Structure 1
């Protein structure tokens, strides 16, 4: 499919041919759900487990006589009430590091890009070369493009001036092509790609 290319000044900069294998996939909600769930679970850190009673190596010998000692009738030093004893009902290790087939991850990325293209929320621009690295200049550019909530994806490296200018603007994120992911694409209203990003993403999906 052919898409109009804009500049940051909202001027026409020709057209670009988008691959149907990357930007023309049928929407698959099941694939998107699997990939987003996998991404969010990967973010979770592994909980640190505590040593419980069965994990502590302490004597099981009875501390004293059952009666006549004037103390409680303890029978094991590993009990939670003793210093060094096991923790009662402590946190246990839970591993949030699921696996997901690379084929599914790649299909999820292509599906997310296709959804944005089908919804008319995909904008292709020439590059991210901004006139000055200032927030005020960036807000002016965004007003001209009509973007208030967007994800900008550049090629191998993001333009340093553009990244600096957009750093303090809420609901705006900037990523290199290698960092493009399903969750961030779906989590923004508008997806903005540079020509370099389109080439990198098509190579990533088709490779």
Structure 2
């Protein structure tokens, strides 16, 4: 699949980038996409929720009233869950929500997500660029030139670039990642994917292992 390579001003450079059909042109596997996104969302959960149960409450264990004859329910101590300040019944406990997923399924999911974006013509290929120093306004100008100013965009770099990353960090709708950090969730969450030329080889190599 041939795609025009643009510069940061949004103009055609006259060059073509060859996007592998094995990565950008497969029949999407929606179940693999579902499993990968599900795993990603599960890994975002800290699982540190905790409520004190009866045995963890600090308080007197004295029996507060006699067992029979009061006409009310029996109560062993003030730590009983039926009293204010007592323990919680079956309260949340710390839990590990992480899930395992086969590497081949994860690769298939990312290729499926990229193929979906490619089919929707939501992938741009831009020549590698850099900034002399981190400036948000420079990155905003790039977004304007590419027609992405008011859209969720994901820039995929071939290698870590601190200037580009810091320039985009304050922008809520834009994100910058390297090809090795790319995930199915990030791909689907963006309206447009901007692939830098330097990211193509590494991306296709990683997904075709």
Q: Is the pair's TM-score, using the shorter chain for normalization, greater than 0.5?
A: yes
Structure 2 gap ranges (5+): none
Q: Deviations over 1:118-162 (max 9, x none)?
A: 1111011111324663222222222111112210010121x2222
Q: Residue 146 of structure 1 aligns with which residue?
A: 147
When residues 54 and 152 of structure 1 are mapped into structure 2, their CA distance, relative to the original with a 3 A threshold, is same
CA RMSD of aligned residues (A): 3.2
- SS in structure 2 of the partner of residue 27 of structure 1: coil
Equivalent residues, number: 202
Separation in 2, partners of 1:17, 1:95: 42
Q: Does 1:101 align with 2:72?
A: no
Provide the C-alpha distance between the structure 2 equivalents of 1:54 and 1:48, rounded to a whole number of angstroms: 17
Native 8 Å contact 2:107 2:207 kept in 1: yes
SS at match of 1:204: helix
* 8 A contact 2:29–2:108 mirrored in 1: no
TM-score, normalised to structure 1, is 0.80
For 1:146-185, list aligned pairs within 5 A: 146-148=147-149, 149=151, 150-157=153-160, 159-185=161-187
Partner of 1:4: 4
- The structure-2 alpha-carbon separation of the partners of 1:65 and 1:7, relative to structure 1 and needing over 3 Å to count, comes to closer
User: Once superposed, which parts of structure 1, at least 4 consecutive aligned residues long, lie more than 4 Å away?
Assistant: 53-56, 60-67, 72-82
